[in-house]
């Protein structure tokens, strides 16, 4: 087993040479075999043990066992204790998810604080089978069927090529001691039910089930790689990023026979889960949107817009007192007194200061807001009509700020000045307003 592991590392993890490794060690069979193997290899290792305090005295006996092993072989040990039950309750998580989050967060803290290069965990081939079957029962996509990754950022899983039987046989041959987790015998958890009842039956039906399953996952991983390549090529044809907003061209997208699959592939990393709503959005009217925790997907004519969730309220107001020369929030605006008007633009306007009522107010537009466009004396126009004429997207409209004087619009900032504040022949005090 040691030689097989060495060959596996040389082929798949050659970068581990001369690296500082932290081995996640529960004291159970799998992790103790991993520690014993790496103890015999030329690597700088240390152990990390999490006491989740879920099994009373047993949990502390596990910790003591690992401490004794580390002391016996003069291996550095990092141990911590978690109130897993309280954490799970506070964050409304299952016990298993809470333990996983606590464990990996702590591992990354140790990487940062103690300058470790990688953390090694003892997941093996049977763990992969169990995970596959769990995800299969949940109706997962391809991502849930390709198996536990052998590397995920700083987490390395070097034992995935070994079966549970191989690991147990090695422990027996070397007379290795380990701690038995009593919860593993219970069928309380789905994984244990699969481990005790389903996987043994599959192995009974096919004596080579582990190896054939590994081949199947290899084919699935190859298929996933092809999907990734296709998704990248199609993305370049239908998507365009502008700042924090991604635009998906629906006319191009709908020409694809499997456009729903592409949408799923592109959007899953943004936390979306309401897939039927997203697919319906393609044929919805403009303005409809689907939300994830941090993002919005908005239908805007022939485009889907992916944008971060708004941080500011549409009802926020920012006041500008007289003599203020610079505004930094919510946008950068300079205000200066000038003697002559030069060329106006979308970003620069000139107004008659005597017509202003202070404080001026910057706020977002509301449905029904009306202004008098510059050059259209006596004629008013709804902002919604202006935005439609300018072909602004839903997101563009949300980002527009309006400068008000009392109950009258001075400037649709960055777009159009109001006629009522323009410079006249008798204007004595001219203000220049410019957005940066």
Query: Alpha-carbon distance 239 to 176, whole Å?
Result: 56
Q: Is 31 annotated as a binding residue?
A: yes
Decide if 114 contacts 78 (C-beta within 8 A): yes
pLDDT at 255: 94
Burial category of 47 from C-beta neighbours within 10 Å (exposed 0-12, middle 13-18, buried 19 and up): buried
Chain mean pLDDT for the chain: 93
In which order are the strands placed within the sheet that holds 430-435? 326-327, 333-338, 430-435, 348-352
Decide if 148 contacts 128 (C-beta within 8 A): yes
Question: For residue 57, is pLDDT > 60?
Answer: yes
Query: Alpha-carbon distance 372 to 355, whole Å?
Result: 15
Decide if 372 contacts 412 (C-beta within 8 A): no
Q: Is 94 annotated as a binding residue?
A: no
Q: Is 362 annotated as a binding residue?
A: no
pLDDT at 187: 84
pLDDT at 197: 94
Closest listed residue to residue 310, CA positions, set 327, 328, 289: 289
Q: Is 26 annotated as a binding residue?
A: yes
Mean of pLDDT values over 188-213? 93
Decide if 66 contacts 49 (C-beta within 8 A): yes
Mean of pLDDT values over 225-249? 93
Query: Alpha-carbon distance 16 to 156, whole Å?
Result: 10
Cα–Cα distance list, 256 to 227, 260, 261, 262, 300 (Å): 14, 9, 10, 9, 20
Mean of pLDDT values over 102-118? 97
pLDDT at 311: 60
pLDDT digits (tens, 9 = 90+) for 374-394: 988 878 999 999 998 988 888
pLDDT at 314: 59
Residue 293: band (very low, low, confident or very high) from pLDDT cuts 50, 70, 90: confident
Query: Alpha-carbon distance 87 to 37, whole Å?
Result: 34
b/e burial code for range 175-193 (CB count within 10 A of at least 16 → b): eeebbebeeeeeeeeebee
Q: Is 30 annotated as a binding residue?
A: yes
């Amino acid at each position: 087993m040691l030689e097989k592991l060495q060959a596996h590392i040389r082929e798949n993890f050659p970068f581990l040479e001369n690296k500082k490794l932290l081995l996640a060690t529960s004291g159970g069979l799998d992790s103790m075999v991993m520690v014993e193997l790496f103890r015999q290899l030329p690597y700088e290792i240390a152990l990390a043990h999490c006491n989740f305090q879920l099994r009373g005295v047993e949990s502390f006996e596990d910790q003591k066992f690992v401490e004794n092993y580390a002391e016996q072989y003069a291996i550095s040990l990092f141990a911590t204790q978690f109130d897993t039950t309280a954490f799970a309750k506070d964050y409304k998580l299952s016990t298993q998810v809470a333990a996983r989050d606590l464990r990996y967060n702590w591992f990354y803290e140790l990487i940062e604080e103690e300058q470790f290069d990688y953390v090694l965990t003892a997941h093996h081939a049977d763990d992969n089978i169990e995970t596959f079957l769990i995800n299969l029962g949940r109706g997962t996509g391809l991502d849930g069927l390709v198996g536990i990754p052998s590397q995920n950022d700083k987490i390395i899983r070097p034992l995935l090529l070994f079966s549970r039987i191989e690991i147990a046989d090695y422990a027996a041959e070397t007379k290795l001691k380990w701690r038995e987790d009593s919860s593993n015998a219970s069928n309380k958890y789905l994984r244990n039910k699969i481990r005790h009842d389903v996987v043994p039956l599959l192995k009974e039906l096919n004596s080579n089930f582990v190896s054939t399953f590994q081949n199947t996952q290899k084919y699935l991983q190859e298929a996933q790689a092809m999907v990734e390549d296709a998704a990248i090529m199609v993305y370049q044809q239908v998507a365009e990023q502008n700042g924090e907003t991604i635009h998906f061209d629906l006319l191009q997208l709908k020409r694809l026979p499997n456009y729903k699959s592409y949408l799923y592939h592109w959007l899953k990393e943004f936390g979306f889960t309401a897939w039927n709503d997203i697919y319906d959005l393609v044929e919805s009217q403009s303005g409809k949107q689907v939300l994830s925790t941090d993002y919005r997907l908005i239908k805007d004519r022939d485009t889907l817009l992916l944008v971060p969730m708004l941080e500011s309220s549409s009802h926020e107001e920012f006041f500008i007192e007289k003599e203020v020369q610079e505004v930094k929030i919510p946008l950068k605006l300079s205000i200066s007194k000038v003697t002559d008007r030069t060329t106006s633009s979308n970003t620069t306007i000139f107004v008659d200061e005597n017509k202003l009522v202070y404080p001026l107010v910057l706020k977002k537009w509301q449905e029904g807001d009306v202004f008098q466009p510059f050059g259209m004396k006596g004629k008013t126009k709804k902002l919604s009509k202006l935005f439609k004429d300018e072909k602004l997207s839903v997101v563009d409209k949300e980002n527009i700020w309006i400068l008000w004087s009392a109950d009258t619009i001075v400037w649709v900032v960055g777009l159009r000045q109001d006629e009522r504040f323009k410079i006249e022949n008798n204007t004595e005090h001219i203000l220049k307003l410019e957005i940066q």
